[in-house]
Amino acid sequence: MDEEDSQHSYSDSNSVNKKPSGKIPEASCDEDEDDENSRYRLHKLNLIRNFENFDNKSEYYLDTDEFNWEQHVYSVMQKYDPNVAEAMNEQSEYAFSMTKKLYGTDEVDTSPFRLAIQMYLMYIHGIRDDAFPYAIVNKVLHYVHKVFIKRIMCEPNNITNQDFIQLTKLTPEERCHVCILVMETKKRVELIYLTRAMSQFVNL
């Protein structure tokens, strides 16, 4: 794993599988609530300007068995607007499945590459699938790939032409496809957290 990803390394089984043990002291609960309220106020005032890495040492991962796109997000959206839910799901599924089976000029199965992009970006946002072999990410995605897709998703305002040029192996069309994959993954991540919060609020 590259130095940039050390905070959320897939190879560190202790950090990936780490789950706090025992009960949280009442004082900690109050501190957590104050921290959440503070973060909410920052969001409300639009004062959060920079992306903050998910801290795998102090925060829980959201397991896809607990809440995911197929079984939960789509179901929640269906309750409010079936047409929009269907359109968004079709758009997302098409983005993740479309392929010319080419990587540059080489004819290959690109499904591992496309899936690695999605799983890597979800992972660094605190969403983990225990059934996915994360060790494959470093085998499929080069460092320049990870830097590019993370920047596209988290800091799109900082993207430069040089970032595109560095993806020398990919054609311009494939670079655009990568951007589409990132966009759809970002949409899924945001909707997973949004609909989960909505479900929790409704069920209070």
Q: What pLDDT does 45 receive? A: 61
Kindly give, in sequence order, each residue whose CB lies less than 8 Å from that of residue 199, ignoring residues fewer than 6 positions away. Answer: 67, 72, 76
Q: What pLDDT does 59 receive? A: 78
Nearest-angstrom CA–CA distance, 84 and 74: 10
Q: What pLDDT does 43 receive? A: 57
Q: What pLDDT does 13 receive? A: 35
Kindly give, in sequence order, each residue whose CB lies less than 8 Å from that of residue 62, ignoring residues fewer than 6 positions away. Answer: 126, 127, 128, 192, 193, 196
- In angstroms, what CA-CA distances link 10 with 4, 60, 67, 105, 155? 12, 15, 21, 30, 22
Nearest residue to 174 (alpha-carbon basis) of 128, 127, 110: 110
Q: What pLDDT does 48 receive? A: 59
Kindly give, in sequence order, each residue whose CB lies less than 8 Å from that of residue 35, ignoring residues fewer than 6 positions away. Answer: none
Q: What pLDDT does 25 receive? A: 36
Q: How far apart are the first and last CA of the chain?
A: 41
- Dump pLDDT digits (tens) for 50-80: 777 777 777 788 888 888 888 888 888 888 8
Q: What pLDDT does 18 receive? A: 40
Q: What pLDDT does 32 receive? A: 53
Q: What pLDDT does 34 receive? A: 63
Q: What pLDDT does 157 receive? A: 85
- In angstroms, what CA-CA distances link 132 with 81, 135, 150? 31, 9, 20
List the chain domain ranges. Answer: 59-202
Regions of the chain with pLDDT less than 70: 1-49, 204
Report whether 99 contacts 114 (CB < 8 A): yes
